[in-house]
């Protein structure tokens, strides 16, 4: 399912490098001792356990960051809870991936957001410490340390352009392989961002697509059941026409 990603982890192992979450201390300014591997879960929880198991087999511990405002999966659903508990059992850490355009990021009422984070920790039986920004602002990069009690992985302790390597938008090419080799060879701290969906094999894409669309299908089904005039107004066609 993750053949290319397995090859990447095999390369990391040849350099005797292990990924692990940093110590939980926002007051430190020195770089963490161990390279950091993070996953921003943008679209789907599909195959996250398979990725986590692969990393566990190689001795790595990653940070999986979930979107509380995701449109294609529900952070508070029973299935997401099960996946989170499974990842935790492998030694991985859980955090939040927050869209900069969302109410959570834009509201001035920080007290209510802190209460919401406390609620999520209680609901999901977590002790979350880290967050990453979805579509970060320039001001987020290398500056702000804390947001409502959570440490930003874009803060100056963990992030700068020289030590950051990402597959954003599915872009992973030979240039990035060369940079990865340099990090590994020189035994330096770096932060590696991997989006799980970009590393799925072709035969797994259909499963991802099914997972991605299932919530939308269920929402339309619920809407049809709740609104008697759904068919009269042909809302289903209108929704599809406007996608």
DSSP characters over the chain = --HHHHHHHHHHHHTT----PPPS-TT--SPPSS-EEEEEE-S--TTHHHHHHHHHHTT---EEEE-TT-SSS-TTSHHHHHHHHHHHHTT-EEEEEEETTSHHHH-S-HHHHHHHHHHHHHHTT----EEEEES--GGGTTT--EETTEEETTSTTT--GGGEEE-GGG---HHHHHHHHHHHHHT---EEE--GGGG--HHHHHHHHHHHHHHHHHHHHHHHHH-TTTTTTTHHHHHHHT-
Class of domain 3-22+31-200 (CATH, top level):
alpha beta
Q: What is the pLDDT of residue 227?
A: 65
pLDDT in tens, 32-91: 889 999 999 998 898 999 999 999 999 999 999 999 999 888 999 999 999 999 999 999
Residue 126's CB is within 10 A of a number of other CB atoms, namely 19
Quick check: 95 and 68 in contact, CB under 8 A? no
Domain ranges of the chain: 3-22+31-200, 204-241
Residue 164, by phi and psi: left (phi above 0), alpha (psi -120 to 50) or beta? beta
What is the spatial distance between Cα 50 and Cα 72, in angstroms, rounded to a whole number?
19
Q: What is the pLDDT of residue 88?
A: 97
Residue 55, by phi and psi: left (phi above 0), alpha (psi -120 to 50) or beta? alpha
**If we measure between CA atoms, which residue out of 200, 210, 211 comes closest to residue 51?**
200
Which are the contacts of 27, defined by CB distance < 8 A and separation ≥ 6?
Answer: none
Q: What is the pLDDT of residue 233?
A: 59
Task: Using 50 as the pLDDT threshold, list the residues of the chain that sit under it.
Answer: none
Residue 204, both tokens: 């797994």
What is the spatial distance between Cα 200 and Cα 152, in angstroms, rounded to a whole number?
27
């Amino acid at each position: 399912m993750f053949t290319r990603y397995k090859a990447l982890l095999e390369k990391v192992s040849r350099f005797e490098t292990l990924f692990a979450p940093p110590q939980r201390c926002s007051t430190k300014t020195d770089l963490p001792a161990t390279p950091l591997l993070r996953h921003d879960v943008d679209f789907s929880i599909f195959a996250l356990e398979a990725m986590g198991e692969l990393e566990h087999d190689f001795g790595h511990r990653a940070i999986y960051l979930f979107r509380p405002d995701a449109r294609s999966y529900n952070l508070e659903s029973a299935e997401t809870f099960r996946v989170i508990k499974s990842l935790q059992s492998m030694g991985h850490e859980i955090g939040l991936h927050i869209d900069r355009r969302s109410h959570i990021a834009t509201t001035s009422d920080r007290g209510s957001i802190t209460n919401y984070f406390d609620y999520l920790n209680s609901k999901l039986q977590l002790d979350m410490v880290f967050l990453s920004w979805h579509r970060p602002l320039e001001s987020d990069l290398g500056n702000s340390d804390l947001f409502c009690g959570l440490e930003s992985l874009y803060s100056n302790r963990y992030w700068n352009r020289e030590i950051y390597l990402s597959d954003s938008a599915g872009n992973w090419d030979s240039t990035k392989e060369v940079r990865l080799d340099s990090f590994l060879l020189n035994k330096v701290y770096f932060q590696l961002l991997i989006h799980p969906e970009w590393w799925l094999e072709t035969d797994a894409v259909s499963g991802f697509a099914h997972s991605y669309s299932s919530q939308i299908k269920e929402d339309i089904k619920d809407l049809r059941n709740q609104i008697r005039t759904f068919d009269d107004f042909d809302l289903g066609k209108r929704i599809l026409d406007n996608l």
